[in-house]
Amino acid sequence: MNQDPAADQEATAADQEAAATHHEAADQEASAYLRTTMPFTGMIGAEAVTATAEEVRLRLPWSDTLCTAGGILHGGALMALADSAGAWCAFLNVPAGAGTTTIESKTNFFRAVRAGAVEAIARPLHVGRTTIVVDTELRDADRRLVARTSQTQAVLDPR
């Protein structure tokens, strides 16, 4: 437990808000945009929940086609979800006409996913002129932290 009661209350409020949004319906218009701009997300079944410059939330329902032995959601599927959420978050923070591409990504895995869905919550940590750093949490249906990804996106000038 944190020694600062205000920090504990803030963390609890953030956890409650995150839990409430984990069960939100997918945004069909945003999901269509996601699958048009990143077709691979359609192949794995990812859906958009919200997408703003401050936060992008994508969800990936568990599917046996995305699993390893024992019905465990494949780490590559989780990394693809995190990369997609982080890339969209970065893109929403670049100047008009600019693009972005992942130049570095690191994922730590904490627990297996055997059912339900995983939600990726991507938030910018640093928005600079040439790079954007995004932190993405992946949480299971019970809001437990499954994995955390930190990635750096290069800002691509319009050509």
Token readout for 106 is 């690191």
Long-range contacts of 69-75 (CB under 8 A, 24+ apart): 70/114, 71/114, 72/112, 72/113, 72/114, 73/112, 73/113, 73/114, 73/118, 75/107, 75/109, 75/147
For residue 20, give every residue at least 6 positions away whose Cβ sits within 8 Å of its Cβ, in sequence order, or none.
none
Model confidence at 158, in pLDDT bands (50, 70, 90)? Answer: confident
Tell me: the pLDDT tens digits for 9-19?
Answer: 544 444 445 44
Tell me: the pLDDT tens digits for 126-148?
Answer: 999 999 999 999 999 999 999 99
Q: What is the pTM of this model?
A: 0.84
Residues 159 and 59: their CA atoms lie apart, in Å, by: 33
What CATH code is carried by the domain that includes residue 135?
3.10.129.10
Q: Domain range holding 117?
A: 5-156
Structural domain count of the chain = 1
Task: Please spell the DSSP secondary structure of 87-103, one letter per residue.
Answer: HHHHHTTSPTT-EEEEE
Count of C-beta atoms within a 10 Å radius of residue 112: 14
Tell me: the pLDDT tens digits for 36-69?
Answer: 999 999 999 999 999 999 999 999 999 999 999 9
Residues 122 and 18: their CA atoms lie apart, in Å, by: 12
For residue 59, give every residue at least 6 positions away whose Cβ sits within 8 Å of its Cβ, in sequence order, or none.
26, 46, 47, 48, 49, 117, 118, 119, 120
Share of the chain above pLDDT 90, in %: 77
